[in-house]
Amino acid sequence: MERMAIGKAINAGLRAAMERDPRVLLMGEDIGALGGVFRVTDGLQKDFGEDRVLDTPLAEAGIVGTAIGMALRGYRPVCEIQFNGFVFPAFNQITTQLAKLRARSRGRLSVPVVLRIPSGGGIGSVEHHSESPEALFAHTPGLRVVTPSSSHDAYWMVQQSIASADPVLFLEPERRYWEKGDVDVDLAPGQVAPLHRARVLREGSDATLVAYGPTVRLALDAAAAAAEDGTRLEVVDLRSISPLDVDTVARSVRRTGRLVVVQEAPVFFGAGAEIAARIQESCFYSLEAPVKRVGGYHLPYPAARVEEHYLPTVDRVLDAVEQALAA
């Protein structure tokens, strides 16, 4: 076991992938000498050279478009989008080219591109730096969307994403970059959890909390607070948003009878809505209460001074749990 922060674990995972496969290269704004604004790629250009760690112009559409061309030529590009709100200039390249080339060519072409995107808020930043765009991309067929919540998952999931034949959006919870955790770097391939498998982090019997990315820690904190009053909450880390591991969530809900989904993105048309619909379909006779959702409000991400009023909190999660238990 090695103890490292999530950002450092991603760095180590990128390094391992680059050492293993010379076709893997990194692209992005200020990722070379600077090591990225969050220092996730720190030291990689020094060790692998400017041909494999490329500082690009400030042009997200150009970054993704170039990566698509390189993937078609046999490379495995990993692009860093500097901040989550900066991904939208590349939206057309991602949704009309990257996502569709494999289907358009009837499987003859693959575009194994990974887009690393800091996700969520809570860092007190300015406009366009605290978005949660996962639902936009999960809605697009042909894209895989995953998000780690721990150092261990960050290390292994970035490598699994790079190895995928399909394009992967790798959403990194930006306010969790500095949280430390244990990483087992010596696992054999068969011992690593599948990329798109959800994981039960805490067992419980009264209700299920489903979270992903930055809200997993929040769900665990809420479960710990509820336990002080004798309420046992089960916490499921979704890990993958597309494809969605409904089976793991459904097994949990059949045990607990209640479900609360926690996300930072607005709940309106969000990932939680899809989870709620799937669970209603598969667990109708097990549900003791309507599925509750906790997340951001249906408005643009607010100024940093008031973001604590926008982001879900332990109290908001526990309020939803109380409503579910009282139903």
Distance CA 289, CA 6 (A): 36
Which residue is catalytic, options 129, 152, 196, 298?
129
Residue ranges of E strands in the chain: 2-5, 24-28, 53-55, 76-80, 114-119, 144-146, 168-173, 180-183, 199-202, 207-211, 233-237, 240-242, 259-266, 292-296
Distance CA 242, CA 48 (A): 32
Considering Cα of 231, then 219, then 194, then 153, what sign does the dihedral take? negative
Query: For residue 296, which of 312, 282, 317 has the smallest C-alpha distance?
Result: 312
Whether 129 is a known active-site residue: answer yes
Q: How many other CB atoms are found less than 10 A from the CB of residue 321?
A: 24
- CB 236 within 8 Å of CB 265: no
- For tokens 């809570």, name the residue: 122
Q: How many residues are there in the chain?
A: 327
Give catalytic residues, as residue numbers: 129
